[in-house]
Structure 1
Amino acid sequence: MSATLNTLQDLIVEKYGVDRAELRPERALSEYGLDSLSQVELLFSVEEAFNISISDEHAHVDNLGALATLVDQLVAEATPA
């Protein structure tokens, strides 16, 4: 499991009380009871945790795996060479 995915799972457990054993990369965020507002709040937490900015264009992720991939991509782009 990637460190990014692990951190995302930590955020969801902490903010929304989801059982960590239930968190799977392929499951839709809505399956954890996160409505659209909760998902936006999660993205703000992710931006803060990883010191990145997620544009509206990228804000529509379906599941934890896609979110982890997006975060890894944005972190790599923000890291100076």
Structure 2
Amino acid sequence: MTNVRDRVIRIIAEQAVLEPSDIRPEATLDELGIDSLGVVESIFAIEEAFDISVPFNANEPQASDFDISSVDTIVAGIERLIAEQHG
């Protein structure tokens, strides 16, 4: 089984229409060319891939407990949610 980071990067790369190798850990979704609809689609894909529920408010992303400021923070948040929801 692939690790969380690799799966998240694959999902984000698909949304950004990039190769996974082009995704830098410190990159923001905006830098990768992912718009707000792409962010929502990424969150849905991540929820489905990991069987988790992401506390993300698409209308107010800054008000969410889920940090989408970079690829690294998304991976960290998902790892935390997996531990909380499946631990």
Q: Which one-letter code corresponds to 1:38 in the other structure? A: G
Q: Trace 1:5-24 onto structure 2 (pairs within 5 A).
A: 5-24=5-24
| Comparing 34-43 and 16-25, the one that deviates more | 16-25
1:6-64 per-residue CA deviation (whole Å, 9 max, x = no partner) reads 00111123344212222011110111110111111100100010000011323451111
The one of the two structures with greater contact order (alpha-carbon pairs below 8 A, sep at least 6) is 1
Q: Trace 1:1-81 onto structure 2 (pairs within 5 A).
A: 3-56=3-56, 57-80=64-87
TM-score using structure 1 length: 0.84
| Comparing 42-51 and 59-68, the one that deviates more | 59-68
| Comparing 12-21 and 26-35, the one that deviates more | 12-21
More helix by share: 1
Q: Which one-letter code corresponds to 1:37 in the other structure? A: L
The number of aligned residues is 79
User: How far apart, CA to CA, are the structure 2 residues paired with 1:66 and 1:60?
Assistant: 6
Q: Which one-letter code corresponds to 1:4 in the other structure? A: V
Matched residues, percent identical?
29
Residue segments in structure 1 that go unaligned for 5+ positions in a row = none
